[in-house]
Structure 1
Amino acid sequence: MSFDTRAGTRGGKVPAGRFVRAFNKLAERWLRLRGGRVMGFSALVLTTTGAKTGAERTTPVGYFPDEDGSWLIVASANGAAGNPGWYYNIGAHPDKVRAEVDGRAVTVVPQQLHGPEREAAWKQITAASSRFAQYQEKTDRELPIIRLTPQY
């Protein structure tokens, strides 16, 4: 399992600030109560353990269902030069990752996709949402794709 995608040298701006934190908290509550979609995406609440702090972190993340019942997520960060914090958290503590989908929380096994497996997933994702192709155009890093396999 390799979570080693380096930051790029150019990219879009990552939304930040009080408004974004408030929106994320509201989205998390919504997803926990009702599940469903946020900003046009099927979304889940991702829970990770901080790479540096060891503190539990949650964030709403858009996902795409994979054929085997797992979920694909993209560490896009709006096409920023750097990967989102949750990407590094997963890499540091892959055994402490949970996803809340449609009102149920499950422990998941994260796997970063590479090579042909990543390319097939990327085609599936960009066919479902052209927004991700636009994120990729903003940055010179390859956007990591993570498969979250539920552990029931």
Structure 2
Amino acid sequence: MDMRAFDEVVVRRFRAGEEIEGLHRDRLLLLTTTGRHSGERRTAPMMFVRFDDDPLVIASDDGAARHPSWLLNLRADPHARVETPDGRAAEVVAEELTGDERIVAWDDLVARFPFFAEQQERAGDRVIPLVRLRSCD
């Protein structure tokens, strides 16, 4: 299946409050970024975990060798919009975790979801970024 078409179905079902086959709705959020080249708003569904009180998203792209577009968009403009499973939406600012903070978050993530260690192996030299989404409110 075309990933863009799949993402469109996930976004539609998520916003409608429907179950999404094969995915855990309570671990998903929608992240809307501004395209770094186009300036257009782009929405991507993705898994998240809580880091302190903030959503934390993982730029693994299933272990791809390159960073996902949404991460590159956030690096160009860290302001974004998040829609969470409870139906809330918020404006956020993205911050990539670094240093000890990233190590702690990564170790916790891999302990809970071991498949991320496998994705890091597939990513090779690319270190998978972890991005905290802090509310602007």
TM-score, normalised via structure 2 length: 0.89
C-alpha distance in 2 between matches for 1:125 and 1:78: 15
Identity %: 37
CA shift at 1:104, angstroms?
Answer: 1.5
* Structure 1 residue runs without a partner (length 5+): 1-17
Higher relative contact order (CA 8 A, sep 6+): 1
Tell me which residue corresponds to 2:59. 75
CA shift at 1:113, angstroms?
Answer: 0.4
2:127 pairs, out of 139, 142, 146, with 142
* Structure 2 residue runs without a partner (length 5+): none
CA shift at 1:36, angstroms?
Answer: 7.5
1:31 pairs, out of 14, 21, 35, with 14
CA shift at 1:40, angstroms?
Answer: 3.9
CA shift in 2, pair 1:34/1:111, >3 Å:
same
> RMSD of the TM alignment (CA)?
1.8
CA shift at 1:35, angstroms?
Answer: 7.4
Q: Does residue 90 in structure 1 map to residue 74 in structure 2? A: yes
C-alpha distance in 2 between matches for 1:80 and 1:34: 30
How big is each residue's C-alpha offset from its partner over 1:32-66, in whole Å with a ceiling of 9 and x where there is no partner? 22278762470100000001111110110100012
Tell me which residue corresponds to 1:63. 48
TM-score, normalised via structure 1 length: 0.81
How big is each residue's C-alpha offset from its partner over 1:12-49, in whole Å with a ceiling of 9 and x where there is no partner? xxxxxx62122111111222222787624701000000
Aligned partner letter, 1:146: V
